[in-house]
């Protein structure tokens, strides 16, 4: 039986597929390549190009493949874009999930592990954030993911599809050998932009706001290595297969770094000056997001391997140096 990774050509999805294959799983990938890259898909995965909002595409895939569980990472995930185009986010993320669940129901697939986000919490009531804390998203991306979580509760009751929602904090880094990594167009994430400046592809970093309620005034985020994230999905999938109930887990390192601290760490890792200037705030950014991830450690047995921000940035830098233009260098 195989695992379907929806969105398996994306940044997180490609690392997910890589890890599953390394661990001996039979892997099928579905991706419409709207933001993913064909070259990012592991050669041992069976690739189907199509959209998770396309019921016929999914029915055909489930008819051809013997899928036991779905890892659903097919979603738009850019906070600033979601502030400008909320309907795009509700369409792709919420409708996409509904069409996928309907196809799973028809095919009798009972397990789904899906990407949720720290953005479901909005401005958190306390730091570190626990799973049961108040969830009031301040961007439509976070709202779309919270809706996906709510949908699952009712689908489980009615259809017996069991789920784990994994609320990622800030995914970062790349496979250590630099063979796959982050490649978004346009790039909006802090670490890849800092490394673009380090590589001389961009003049300077714009730090969006230095008047937040944090120690140095810049936003604080919790960076978690992409392969540690991937491992949590495998544990969650096996947990469901063992008959455990549906649940929700935070995935973070439990340590916060301000945007300025990330810049300093990147200067150290790369040995480059990395010019930066303060720019106005970007919409939809909470002051601080740091996870309490003890539940994933205790319940799933999750044991993240990367506990040092410089090591995480180093893996992203290796990818950047080997592929300065991302997957365009590999096709």
Question: What amino acid positions are annotated as catalytic residues?
Answer: 141
Hey, what are 189's tokens?
């994430």
Least distance between ligand UFG and beta carbon 100 (Å)? 19
Q: Does 251 bind ligand UFG (CB under 6 A)?
A: no
Least distance between ligand UFG and beta carbon 107 (Å)? 29
- Separation of alpha carbons 4 and 68, rounded Å: 8
- Which positions from 213 through 242 interact with ligand UFG, judged by CB under 6 A? 219, 221
Least distance between ligand UFG and beta carbon 97 (Å)? 16
- Separation of alpha carbons 232 and 251, rounded Å: 8
Q: Which residues, 6 or more positions from 206, have their beta carbon under 8 angstroms from its beta carbon?
A: 276, 277, 278, 279
Binding to ligand UFG by CB under 6 A, coded x per residue (else -) over 30-69, reads ----------------------------------------
User: E-strand spans in 80-180?
Assistant: 111-117, 162-168, 170-172
Q: Which of 48, 50, 65 is nearest to 3 (CA)?
A: 65
Q: Does 116 bind ligand UFG (CB under 6 A)?
A: no
Hey, what are 315's tokens?
């893996």
Q: Does 193 bind ligand UFG (CB under 6 A)?
A: yes
Hey, what are 70's tokens?
């779905």
Q: Which is nearer to ligand UFG, 166 or 235 (CB)?
A: 166
234 near 309, Cβ under 8 Å? no
Q: Does 207 bind ligand UFG (CB under 6 A)?
A: yes
Least distance between ligand UFG and beta carbon 238 (Å)? 25
Q: Does 146 bind ligand UFG (CB under 6 A)?
A: no
Binding to ligand UFG by CB under 6 A, coded x per residue (else -) over 73-112, reads ----x-x---------------------------------
For 104, half-sphere exposure in the C-beta direction (CA atoms, 13 angstrom radius) is 30
- Separation of alpha carbons 135 and 120, rounded Å: 6
Among 163, 170, 254, 270, binds ligand UFG (CB under 6 A): 170
- b/e 59-95 (16+ beta carbons within 10 angstroms → b): eebbeebebbbbbbbbbbbbbebbbeeeeebbebbbe
Interacting span for ligand UFG (CB under 6 A) from 1-9, 49-57, 153-161, 204-212: 204-212
Q: Which residue is nearest to ligand UFG (CB)?
A: 219
- Separation of alpha carbons 262 and 223, rounded Å: 10
Q: Which is nearer to ligand UFG, 119 or 226 (CB)?
A: 119
| Contacting residues toward ligand UFG, per CB under 6 A | 77, 79, 117-119, 169-170, 188-190, 193, 205-208, 219, 221, 259, 282, 285, 289
């Amino acid at each position: 039986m195989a695992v379907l990774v929806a969105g398996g050509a994306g940044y997180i999805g490609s690392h997910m597929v890589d890890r599953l294959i390394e661990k001996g799983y039979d892997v099928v990938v579905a991706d419409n390549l709207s933001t993913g890259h064909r070259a990012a898909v592991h050669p041992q995965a069976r690739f189907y190009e199509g959209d998770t909002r396309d019921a016929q595409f999914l029915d055909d895939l489930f008819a051809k493949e013997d899928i036991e569980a779905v890892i659903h990472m097919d979603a738009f995930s850019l906070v600033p874009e979601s502030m400008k185009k909320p309907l795009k986010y509700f369409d792709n993320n919420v409708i996409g999930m509904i069409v996928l669940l309907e196809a799973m129901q028809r095919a009798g697939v009972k397990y789904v592990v899906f990407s949720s986000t720290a953005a479901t919490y909005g401005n958190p009531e306390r730091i570190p954030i626990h799973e049961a804390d108040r969830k009031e998203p301040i961007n439509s991306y976070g709202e779309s993911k919270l809706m996906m979580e709510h949908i699952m509760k009712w689908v489980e009751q009615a259809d017996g599809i069991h789920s784990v929602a994994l609320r990622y904090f800030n995914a970062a880094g790349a496979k250590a050998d630099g063979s796959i990594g982050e490649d978004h167009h346009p790039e909006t994430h802090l670490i890849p932009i800092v490394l673009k400046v380090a590589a001389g592809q961009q003049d300077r970093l714009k730090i969006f706001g230095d008047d937040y309620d944090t120690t140095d005034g810049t936003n604080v985020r919790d960076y978690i290595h992409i392969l540690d994230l991937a491992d949590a999905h495998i544990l969650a999938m096996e947990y469901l297969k063992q008959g455990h109930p549906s649940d929700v887990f935070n995935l973070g390192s439990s340590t916060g770094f301000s945007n300025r601290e990330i810049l300093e760490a990147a200067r150290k890792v790369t040995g480059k000056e990395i010019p930066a200037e303060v720019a106005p705030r970007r919409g939809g950014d909470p002051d601080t997001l740091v996870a309490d991830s003890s539940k994933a450690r205790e319940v799933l047995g999750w044991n993240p391997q990367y506990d040092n921000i410089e090591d995480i940035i180093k893996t992203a830098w290796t990818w950047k140096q080997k592929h300065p233009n991302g997957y365009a260098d590999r096709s």
